[in-house]
Amino acid sequence: MNKLNQATLLPLKHMDIQDTYWTHYMNLIRHVVVPYQWEALNDRIPGAEPSCAIQNFRIAAGDIQGEYHGMMFQDSDPAKWLEAAAYLLEIGANPELERLADETIELIARAQHEDGYLNTYYTVKEPGKRWTNLAECHELYCAGHLIEAAVAYFHATGKRKILDVVCRLADYIDSIFGTGDGQIRGYDGHQEIELALVKLYQATGEKRYLLLSKYFLDERGQDPYFFEAEWEKRGRTGYWNNNLLNRQYCQAHKPVRSQNSAEGHAVRLVYMCAGMVDVAVETQDEGLLEACRELWKNMVSKRMYITGGIGSKAQGEAFSLDYDLPNDTVYAETCASIGLIFFAQRMLRVEANSEYADIMERALYNTVLGGMSLDGRHFFYVNPLEVWPEACEKNENFTHVKPTRQGWFACACCPPNVARLLASLGQYIYTQKDSTLFTHLYIGGQGQVEMNGRKIRVVQESKLPWAGHVSLTVHTEENNEFTLALRIPSWSGKPEITINGASFKMEDHLLNGYVYIHRIWKNDDVIQLILPMSVLRFRANPLVRANIGKVALQRGPLVYCLEEADNGANLQQIVLPSDVELKVESDHELLGGVQVIVAEAERIDQQAWGTGLYQDGTVIYNNPQQIKFIPYYAWANREVGEMSVWVRERA
């Protein structure tokens, strides 16, 4: 038996989410987000940035004449849309969506060259220049997204058309890249194809795809620096000319196995890490996995926002340094948190440690959900923890921080990424390893799984994120001996577990954050899990300068924030006494129905201060003020205003 052994995912077709909180999102993705994004890709959203992504494929396919428009990696947007559509089709039939997807697949196939090459930017705009600017021009990144979409569509529909397209593409790429004579000894500027090739390997059984993925990982960070040689070969020209010679930016400063701190472009790093875990497992490479653990540890213990956001600086959309987590100049790209979820889920499949699931959940409920408006039609690229709208307009340090979500972006990586993640949410709830079924997320619905060769159904009900009440009912035709492993979230007080009403002493069955319940399960056995959800006052490590003297509230998986709409402007003037009661109240009318946290806090008396800029001897007075926190994910769904996650605390 292999030492490194990933738990398996439950296929989406075996998952049916029926949840008081998430069903809304699933419907939104199916009925609003994915259709809306199709309109966006076809340039039919009034007032939003035109995408031209489908049009580029039409031109490349020879259907129409025209010029290429958009980013050179625009192809990845339809690919991510197709992947999201595939997940929706796997969950439930939708002939109209399938027709659109099939048409898109036909279009993509027509844009493919004889030799397998497929990229509309180089086909339409820069013919003859394939593979001349791997650092910036993202051909392999686009290929990776198309491969992910193809594998998902194949799983969803059984149709091979797009899978065949990407196999030809991957075979062509395999012929071009490598250490052989005449091959390009290079790698992708933006990691993505690594994890995609492992998916293709798993879907087809063709080991060359796995080896190609491993090759890309092994080559990265070697000397001499490939992207510098490539740049010299181009005559020192570039597309953006930013970061071209910055090896950290694309994680090429060291061989990947030697990297132990989260550096450079955040999305690239987490996509790379996801691929590293996959390759480590498939090739039994403990050294490679150890690098993943090191990178994970640095990222989540020194370089992550409490919202699960990563990447503290706009320049290079990148990590900066340990404990440098400014709330206002932050980047925290939506895609980076999605990639963090990919990375976390893969680590979790290798080692069932609830820390991975905790962070997956943190990123999902806060940054990813916050990345999309409640109406499903507006998106954040950057997810700040503190916003002063006027400064966003007038101080360029904050130009990248938008106080309102946008309809679409010139660089539209985030919206379809949210769509594909949420469409595949069913895959994040359970994993199975041998005869253990792990529950990572508490999301209601039904999952089918085979245990000891026999099908069972697990029906989950959950009141999260508003209450910590969860039940899991096992439906089995015959008694079946296996283990149910339940995650105990880090935000939970002391949980209570009952099985068929009888108390279960969890203490002796707890390992790395999971309660392992081993028994012979009978039909209709019910586990009740009570996860106490008090309001938690989080403080940050005192090495984090931005949060010194401040507190952030969290309840269950939800991080909370103050908004100007509820609390007035100048949120910095609010002080939360450390001993004050934090009351949870339901507000069914507010923001689609949320629980708010209210507290008798204090606010600086501006009038008592007067108007001077600096005054000596003037005491700062506080007046009582009731303040209201809302869940962070729901911010910026009302009028434009200030927002702050971290609030000053008075001891």
- Residues near its own copies (CB under 8 A): 300-302, 304, 306, 312-316, 320-321, 324, 326, 329, 388, 390-391, 394-397, 491, 536-545, 548-549, 552, 554, 570, 572-573, 604, 606, 609, 611-618, 620, 648, 650-651
Q: Longest Cα pair distance anywhere in the chain, in angstroms?
A: 79
5 vs 578 by CB, closer to its own copies: 578
Please indicate whether residue 414 is annotated as part of the active site.
no
CB of 99 to its own copies, least distance (A): 47
Measure the CA dihedral 145/146/148/153, to 10°.
Answer: 140
Using CA atoms, how far apart are residues 532 and 505, in angstroms rounded to an integer?
16
Given the residues 317, 361, 563, 564, the one annotated as active site: 317
Measure the CA dihedral 486/487/491/493, to 10°.
Answer: 40
CB of 633 to its own copies, least distance (A): 17
CB of 248 to its own copies, least distance (A): 9
Using CA atoms, how far apart are residues 39 and 51, in angstroms rounded to an integer?
10
Residue that is written with structure tokens 């209601």 in the block: 444
Given the residues 137, 413, 414, 561, the one annotated as active site: 413
Using CA atoms, how far apart are residues 216 and 278, in angstroms rounded to an integer?
13
- Residue 598: partners with Cβ closer than 8 Å, 6 or more residues away: 582, 583, 585, 626, 627, 628, 629
Please indicate whether residue 585 is annotated as part of the active site.
no
Using CA atoms, how far apart are residues 334 and 64, in angstroms rounded to an integer?
34
Contact (Cβ atoms closer than 8 angstroms) between residue 181 and residue 208: no
- Pick the closest to residue 117 from 44, 54, 166, 180 (CA basis): 166
Strand order in the sheet with 510-511: 8-9, 430-433, 436-439, 480-487, 514-521, 510-511
258 vs 615 by CB, closer to its own copies: 615
- Pick the closest to residue 637 from 372, 333, 363 (CA basis): 372
- Pick the closest to residue 233 from 134, 325, 379, 163 (CA basis): 134
- The strand pair at 510-511 and 445-451 is best described as unpaired
CB of 313 to its own copies, least distance (A): 5
287 vs 612 by CB, closer to its own copies: 612
CB of 620 to its own copies, least distance (A): 6
CB of 609 to its own copies, least distance (A): 6
CB of 365 to its own copies, least distance (A): 15
454 vs 545 by CB, closer to its own copies: 545
- Pick the closest to residue 332 from 357, 303, 302 (CA basis): 303
Using CA atoms, how far apart are residues 442 and 463, in angstroms rounded to an integer?
8
Using CA atoms, how far apart are residues 340 and 272, in angstroms rounded to an integer?
10
CB of 538 to its own copies, least distance (A): 5
1 vs 613 by CB, closer to its own copies: 613
> Catalytic residues, which ones?
317, 413
